């Protein structure tokens, strides 16, 4: 009898200890759709506090006038920001150092003693990233609005943004029979579900059809397959996690496909998908020849952007902080002649420089 009582007491005490580590059900709800539709966003106060703390932006230094001399007349090989006054140019370079390489400083992107040199891959990449930032702010207002983006939107003080992606080679398996369609292999991109793990390749690098729900009882006009639907839902799971929201942030779940019953955020998200494709195809993936081997994915591809690259768990990156207003030069796209697409010569020079560095490091 005593043993049973003791065992029960220990079990209750152990249960109390285990439950003490659980998050109490104190989620706050915000209605974002019609009443009765269950369109609510739920958030734990402690989680929100942590996100707010992680999304603080650095203060901008005082603005400087656009007065000569200009950067292109003082410095060599300034291909993108040459029309800035030297003071403005230096201010932006200092901000970029704070945003991307606060520990390494200027030498992260510049050759010591020769700032004009392109013989370091980080400078070639950063120039293209500047052009991409200007392109986003000048052409993708339907997604970024007047808030815009800066290097800090993605980098947050890191050389490489925390949220990038590569082509997924999938698990190694001796079994080759059957067609799995990249499914039943839990992956973070699909919220650890059995959905396909290559949705980013399909929809944010490729242009496969996303709207797969038909509007008739029989498949008379909609030829999309269940497999395509599963891929679409994998992408939706990624977007949900990336923005820290559920499906009802964009959709009325009683009629997922109906745009008239969706929230305005669905339109913004549609432009976001189009923007991600644009950036990956025209800016990020073409940088593959420039990167050293250790910066590439398992299949040799360049790092690319997805929704989490900017959002990082928040429905508005940095909670909507409009950093770009302090740096107007990032909102005007450079002329086509000044865009400076990555050339084979630049890629070759960088590759040669990286090979020499590796040989020196390995004592060859």
Beta-carbon neighbour count of residue 44 at 10 Å?
14
What residues form DSSP beta bridges with 42? 29
pLDDT in tens, 149-202: 999 999 999 999 999 999 988 776 655 555 666 777 888 888 888 888 899 999
Per-residue pLDDT, 333: 86
45, pLDDT greater than 80: yes
pLDDT in tens, 334-350: 754 344 445 444 444 44
Task: For helices 121-139 and 264-279, give the axis angle rounded to 10 degrees.
Answer: 150
Distances (CA, A) of 174 to 80, 171, 177, 275, 298: 50, 10, 9, 38, 19
Per-residue pLDDT, 281: 98
SS3 111: strand
Q: Where are the domains of the chain?
A: 44-158+318-364
d(Cα 199, Cα 358) in Å, to the nearest integer?
35
363, pLDDT greater than 50: no
Q: In which element (H, E) is residue 353 found?
A: helix 344-362
Task: For helices 121-139 and 344-362, give the axis angle rounded to 10 degrees.
Answer: 140
Q: What pTM, to 2 d.p., does this model score?
A: 0.84
Distances (CA, A) of 302 to 75, 103, 288, 342, 355: 30, 24, 5, 14, 18
Among 62-76, 128-142, 332-346, the least confident range = 332-346
Per-residue pLDDT, 13: 66
147, pLDDT greater than 90: yes
- Residue pair 305/279 in contact (Cβ under 8 Å)? The answer is yes
What residues form DSSP beta bridges with 43? 28
Strand pairing class (40-43; 28-31)? antiparallel
Per-residue pLDDT, 336: 43
Q: Considering the domain 44-158+318-364, what is its CATH architecture?
A: Orthogonal Bundle (1.10)
Mean pLDDT (the chain) is: 85
Per-residue pLDDT, 20: 60
Among 119-128, 260-269, 345-354, the least confident range = 345-354
Averaged pLDDT, 288-298: 97
Per-residue pLDDT, 141: 96
């Amino acid at each position: 009898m005593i043993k049973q009582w003791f065992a029960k007491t220990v079990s209750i005490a152990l249960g109390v200890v285990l439950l003490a580590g659980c998050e109490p059900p104190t989620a706050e709800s915000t209605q974002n759709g019609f009443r009765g539709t269950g369109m609510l966003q739920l958030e734990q106060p402690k989680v929100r506090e942590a996100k707010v703390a992680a999304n603080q932006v650095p203060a901008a230094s005082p603005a400087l006038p656009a007065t000569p001399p200009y950067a292109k007349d003082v410095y060599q090989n300034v291909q993108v920001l040459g029309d800035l006054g030297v003071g403005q140019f230096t201010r932006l370079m200092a901000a970029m150092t704070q945003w991307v390489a606060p520990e390494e400083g200027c030498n992260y992107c510049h050759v010591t003693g020769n700032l004009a040199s392109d013989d370091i891959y980080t400078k070639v990449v950063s120039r293209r990233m500047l052009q991409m930032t200007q392109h986003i702010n000048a052409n993708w207002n339907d997604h970024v609005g007047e808030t815009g983006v800066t290097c800090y939107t993605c980098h947050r003080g890191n050389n490489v943004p925390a949220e990038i992606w590569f082509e997924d080679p999938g698990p190694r398996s001796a079994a080759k029979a059957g067609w799995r369609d990249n499914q039943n292999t839990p992956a973070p991109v699909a919220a650890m579900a059995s959905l396909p793990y290559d949705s980013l390749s399909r929809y944010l690098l490729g242009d496969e059809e996303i709207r797969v729900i038909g509007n008739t009882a029989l498949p008379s006009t909609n030829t999309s397959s269940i497999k395509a639907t599963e891929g679409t839902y994998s992408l939706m799971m990624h977007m949900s996690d990336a923005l820290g929201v559920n499906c009802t942030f964009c959709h009325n779940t009683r009629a997922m496909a109906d745009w008239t019953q969706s929230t305005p955020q669905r339109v913004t998200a549609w432009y976001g998908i189009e923007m991600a494709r644009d950036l990956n195809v025209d800016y990020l993936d073409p940088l593959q020849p420039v990167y050293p081997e250790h910066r590439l994915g398992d299949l040799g591809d360049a790092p690319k952007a997805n929704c989490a690259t900017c959002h990082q768990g928040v429905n508005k990156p940095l909670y909507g902080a409009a950093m770009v207003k302090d740096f107007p030069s990032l909102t005007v796209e450079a002329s086509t002649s000044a865009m400076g697409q990555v050339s084979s010569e630049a890629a070759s020079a960088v590759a040669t420089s990286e090979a020499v560095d590796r040989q020196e490091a390995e004592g060859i």
